[in-house]
Structure 1
Amino acid sequence: MADTDFTVIRHGQTAENLAGLLQGHTETVLDRLGLLQAQCAAERLRGEKFDHIFSSDLQRAMQTARIIAEAVGGEVIPLPALREWHLGKLENRLNTELWEKYPEVMNAFRYEEGELLIPGGESRFEFLKRVADCIDSLAAQYEGRRILLVTHAGALRAIFRRIVGPVVNDALLPQVSNAAYSRFCRRGDRWQLCCWNDVSHLKNIEVRESVTF
């Protein structure tokens, strides 16, 4: 069996990232720094060859993916399964406001490992299964290929859990920065993490650490 190689980029910064809003499935776009971050990610990947480019179909991810695709070549294929966690009534609201109004929900969201039902959105298990099924399916369908994914912080953490398993009960860990580079591969029936949250290509500009989804 040939290795299936995945390179993953988180979308660039949005104004909502900066403000501390939970975005989820809410449509937002890259701000000026986010566009620059996407361009830096594109320059890092320039010259690399990918068989397929898949992106969450949310605009902030698609913007990032299209900028990268201009540098590496290829068509961006929208893939809804790579979307962020659908957070229902929690979306488009300040993280600080949500902690004040819904402390029990937010504590379970942030720190607990069990099932969590989000009114109007996806449960924790639904979200984790969606992302895990997505990368499993891509690995099976495109065995031996090089694949580029552009997605979101929550989805990246779900990928990490699929590959490594849960390592800490904190929804904001491991760290995922805007426009960060990660890489993993499928070898036979096993996943292997090769690189996580590398931001060396952003060393000359601001790097925003993720505090929201």
Structure 2
Amino acid sequence: MTTEFILLRHGETEWNAQGRLQGHLNSSLSREGLRQADALAARLATLPFQALYSSDLDRAAQTAARIAARTGHDVQQDARLRERGLGILEGLTRAEAGQRHPDVFSAYAEGHADYVVPEGESASQRLRLALHCLEDLGARHAEARVVVVTHGGVLSALLRHCLGIPPAAPRAFAVLNAGWNQFDLHAGGLRLVTWGDVSHLRALSLDDT
């Protein structure tokens, strides 16, 4: 039994453009992010799928709502698909975080899976929640294709989990806004199929030339 998951990162937010750490705080999609969400929606309108799920954070929910408006699916929100909570670092740029909370930011930047940011959570805690969510959805939608709108940190953790990349290893891959990533859940394990596909965004860059 295999469930095909199309895991999407939300469109660009105002804070993405400013380089701010978002965590559980909300930042609206930027104008570019809205265009990216609509490009995802146009691509998904040509691909049959059974269900549409989203993180309950605004940036993911906004992206999912624009997809749903095009495809006719109901959006089902699940807090287990949220970005990692970054506690006292949320809302700060990396430079500001390094200045205001140097020890915390240094420990966060080292990437250890079990480091809990004060008032936040660890990467391993967030990964466990995401994996449990996907396992539940796989049981609910066996032999189906499911679209999930989530976040860069979640996607990065899932990729590392699938490929056996240590959490503290420097990130040698991109996690793009509105990126299209396919993971298949088969025999209780996740298998990476497609990573970082942004072919649906090409028309946007052509419009800007």
The whole-number CA distance in structure 2 between the counterparts of 1:171 and 1:66 is 34
Whether contact under 8 Å (1:55, 1:82) holds in the other structure is yes
**What residue identity is the alignment partner of 1:198?**
D
RMSD, aligned CA:
1.8
The whole-number CA distance in structure 2 between the counterparts of 1:21 and 1:168 is 21
Deviation at 1:67, TM superposition (A): 0.9
Whether contact under 8 Å (2:160, 2:167) holds in the other structure is no
- Structure 2: tracts of 5 or more residues without a match: none
Instruction: Name the CA shift for 1:27/1:153 in 2 (closer, same or farther; >3 Å).
Output: same
Deviation at 1:199, TM superposition (A): 1.0
**Runs ≥4 in structure 1, deviation > 4 angstroms?**
170-173
Q: After alignment, is 33-42 or 68-77 more displaced?
A: 68-77
Whether contact under 8 Å (1:22, 1:92) holds in the other structure is yes
The corresponding residue for 2:103 is: 104
The corresponding residue for 1:78 is: 77
Whether contact under 8 Å (2:12, 2:33) holds in the other structure is yes
CA deviation string 1:35-83 (max 9, x = no partner): 0010111112222111111000111111100111222221000111100
Instruction: Name the CA shift for 1:114/1:42 in 2 (closer, same or farther; >3 Å).
Output: closer
Q: How does 1:118-133 map to 2 (within 5 A)?
A: 118-133=117-132
Q: How does 1:172-211 map to 2 (within 5 A)?
A: 172=171, 174-205=173-204
Structure-1-length-normalised TM-score: 0.88
CA deviation string 1:163-183 (max 9, x = no partner): 223256357553111111111
The corresponding residue for 2:14 is: 15
Q: After alignment, is 59-68 or 153-162 more displaced?
A: 153-162
Whether contact under 8 Å (1:7, 1:149) holds in the other structure is yes
Deviation at 1:192, TM superposition (A): 1.4
The corresponding residue for 1:211 is: none
Percent identity, aligned pairs only, is 36
The aligned length equals 205
**What residue identity is the alignment partner of 1:52?**
A
- Give secondary structure in 2 for the equivalent of 1:37: helix
